[in-house]
Amino acid sequence: MKKIRNLFAAARLKQEFANRRNKLYRVAFSWCHNTSLADDLVQETMLKAMKNADSLRNPATLDTWLYRILLNNWHDYLRVQGRNTELYDVSDENQPGHDDSYQQSQIVGRVRASVQRLPMSLREVVTLADFAGFSYAEIAEIVDIPIGTVMSRLYRARQNLKEQLLDLADEGKLPVRLMRVK
């Protein structure tokens, strides 16, 4: 009976991981701006998560636990590459897909380029907050830094992005009309 329960628990956990996979991938992409690398990072995260599922004591913390593994994988990669700062070289994968409208692509491209110019420590925090939607406490847990540091990094990241993006908007270089709901 216990074995059956364990089997069901494992299947459920696997499904929980799978449900989060796309979001993990997009967060990984927001850090590295490289589709293959983001894919590798997520694959590695999934493997580690399955292997170490026993260490997840509280299912309510599944998200922070998974993103912490993802972040550790990313940092491991940077360490191996010797690129532990913001100088990660990225190709034109920064641009959105061809299916997007021109104006929409421009906005997305501008924002991604601005995020990419942020120092890595700021980039990680701002995407965890603004894209993944984590609270400050959760980000502190994922990145393993005090909440005060989360606040200051988020402040610096948004100041930096504000200067880059709102200046463009004022100069009229950034199209403000994206698209309309049909």
User: What is the pattern of x (binds other proteins, CB under 8 A) and - over residues 107-126?
Assistant: xx--xx--x----------x
**SS3 of 148, please?**
helix
Distance CA 48, CA 38 (A): 15
The two structure tokens encoding residue 1: 């009976």
Residue with tokens 């270089």: 173
Which amino acid, 119? P
Residues 6+ apart with CB under 8 A from 155: none
Among 2, 4, 97, 171, binds other proteins (CB under 8 A): 97
* Angle (nearest 5°) at CA 171 between 167 and 172: 115
Shortest distance, position 59 Cβ to other proteins, whole Å: 21
Residues 6+ apart with CB under 8 A from 142: 64, 67, 68, 71, 128, 134
Task: Mark the segment that binds other proteins (CB under 8 A) among 4-12, 54-62, 72-80, 149-157.
Answer: 149-157
| In contact, 86 and 119? CB cutoff 8 Å | yes
Shortest distance, position 2 Cβ to other proteins, whole Å: 25
Shortest distance, position 181 Cβ to other proteins, whole Å: 5
Could you say which residues in the range 157-176 bind other proteins, by CB under 8 A?
A: 158-159, 161-162, 165-166, 169-170, 174, 176
**Residue 182 interacts with other proteins (CB under 8 A): yes or no:** yes
**Residue 74 interacts with other proteins (CB under 8 A): yes or no:** no
Residues that bind other proteins (CB under 8 A): 18, 21-22, 25-27, 29-30, 35-36, 38-39, 42-43, 96-97, 100, 104, 107-108, 111-112, 115, 126-127, 129-131, 133, 135-136, 151-152, 154-155, 158-159, 161-162, 165-166, 169-170, 174, 176-182
